[in-house]
């Protein structure tokens, strides 16, 4: 029997992946050097470290769009992350890129999200306005480099430079995590794949969850080119399909269209650019993993539609507003009485400062724990229906304490 050792996998990568793929044997390494693993590559180890982290487990009870726990079938940050992993691996495999690195980046990309999704992020950014602000992408890196502790004498999970680079989203220049001051124009292709997979996942499942919640109807969706053309194709093949099954299959086909578009357009971009290796990718003038111009425009229209009709929908916004008011009230209470956070967080204050320590602690909470903590700190509000419930239309989510 042949044992697939680390060396076997490294040789397999060299023999089968594209020349511009990031090979695990050529990783820039970790901030704290470690002996290589006998059976796993560096990026396979990164995947395991993220999955076994506390921050990853907490994603199960954090909001995507609808508050966690308000519907059995609605996405949480964890289910969103797993969908991003699936889409990422499909695209990386098709383009002969490193699937393990792509998966590691996808697994870690949302670890920094606070309770209550982007609404919670805006609330924390407001609370931290005079203390460096708050951004969930930056917080993901803080968690992996400073907050999680698994190894004696080391802050963070001691992940590879390529994984940490891949989490530097929405930046004009990307920093080398191991060499201060060294920057480049783009991250690896694997990071670019994970970034677009994130978009494809939330475009599709936010749509799916909104239809399930009754917040979007077919008449509204018919105005979207990508929905209308996909619906027409599905009906031509399955004329009897109707109702929720039709909606679900249309969304499934939309995902396929976006993934195939990225694969085909990116393959053409790579062929035209002819990068000889990862360094050529990093210093290329533009991203090489992209949508085609028509798909990019279709997604721009879809995203604008979501902001008009979903993300600030009254039944979503009012719930988020109440939840974030609770979050900010807990934030202020911790500032006055930091010992309420517990001994380990109090010990961090000397190094991180009071506001950042409170922010780190709060942002790591699940929706459920934040609500329970609010109930503990402000028991007078437990029996106030206006505080606890969304009194909108039937079927809208309700915040429960337990």
**pLDDT tens track for 222-281:** 889 999 999 999 999 999 999 889 999 999 999 999 999 999 999 999 999 999 999 999
pLDDT surpasses 50 at 396? no
CA 230 – CA 256 distance, rounded (Å): 10
pLDDT surpasses 90 at 380? no
CA 116 – CA 166 distance, rounded (Å): 24
pLDDT surpasses 60 at 393? no
pLDDT surpasses 90 at 288? yes
**Between 179 and 52, where is the model more confident?**
52
% of the chain exceeding 90 in pLDDT = 70
Beta strands 183-184 and 174-175 are antiparallel
Average pLDDT, the chain: 89
The closest of 23, 357, 395, 14 to 188, measured between CA atoms, is 23
Is residue 110 within 8 Å of 199, Cβ to Cβ?
no
CA 135 – CA 147 distance, rounded (Å): 15
Reported confidence tier of residue 397, pLDDT bands at 50, 70, 90: very low
CA atoms within 13 A on the CB side of 94: 19
What pLDDT score was predicted for residue 66? 55
What pLDDT score was predicted for residue 67? 52
Q: How many Å is the Cα radius of gyration of the chain?
A: 22
What pLDDT score was predicted for residue 72? 52
Q: Which two tokens stand for residue 342?
A: 């517990």
What pLDDT score was predicted for residue 54? 96
């Amino acid at each position: 029997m042949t044992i697939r050792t680390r060396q076997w996998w490294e040789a397999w990568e060299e023999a089968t992946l594209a020349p511009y793929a990031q090979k695990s044997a050529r990783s820039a390494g970790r901030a704290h050097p470690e002996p290589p693993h006998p059976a796993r590559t560096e990026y396979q180890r990164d995947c395991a470290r993220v999955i076994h982290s506390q921050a990853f487990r907490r994603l199960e009870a954090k909001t995507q769009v609808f508050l966690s726990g308000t519907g059995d079938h609605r996405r949480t940050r964890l289910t969103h992350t797993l969908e991003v992993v699936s889409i990422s691996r499909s695209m990386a495999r098709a383009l002969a890129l490193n699937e393990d690195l792509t998966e590691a980046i996808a697994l870690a990309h949302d670890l920094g999200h606070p309770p209550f999704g982007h609404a919670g992020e805006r609330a924390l950014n407001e609370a931290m306005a005079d203390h460096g602000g708050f951004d969930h992408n930056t917080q993901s890196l803080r968690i992996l480099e400073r907050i999680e502790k698994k190894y004696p004498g080391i802050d963070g999970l001691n992940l590879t430079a390529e994984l940490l680079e891949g989490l530097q989203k929405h930046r004009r220049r990307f920093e080398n995590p191991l060499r201060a001051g060294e920057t480049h124009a783009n991250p690896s292709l694997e990071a670019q794949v994970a970034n677009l997979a994130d978009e494809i996942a939330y475009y599709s499942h936010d749509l799916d969850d909104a239809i399930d919640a009754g917040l979007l109807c077919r008449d509204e969706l018919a105005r979207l080119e990508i929905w209308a053309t996909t619906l027409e194709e599905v009906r031509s093949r399955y004329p009897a399909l109707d109702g929720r099954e039709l909606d679900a299959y249309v969304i499934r086909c939309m995902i396929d269209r976006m993934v195939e578009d990225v694969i085909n357009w990116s393959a053409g971009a790579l062929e035209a650019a002819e990068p000889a290796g990862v360094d050529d990718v990093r210093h290329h003038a533009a991203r090489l993993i992209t949508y085609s111009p028509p798909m990019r425009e279709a997604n721009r229209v879809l995203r604008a539609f979501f902001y008009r009709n979903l993300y600030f929908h009254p039944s979503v916004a009012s719930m988020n507003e109440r939840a974030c008011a609770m979050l900010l009230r807990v934030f202020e209470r911790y500032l006055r009485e930091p010992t309420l956070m517990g001994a380990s967080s109090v010990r961090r204050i000397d190094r991180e400062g009071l506001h950042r320590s409170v922010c780190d602690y709060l942002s790591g909470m699940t929706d459920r724990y934040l609500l329970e903590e609010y109930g503990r700190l402000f028991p007078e509000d437990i029996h106030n229906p206006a505080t606890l419930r969304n009194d909108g239309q039937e079927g809208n989510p309700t915040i429960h304490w337990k």
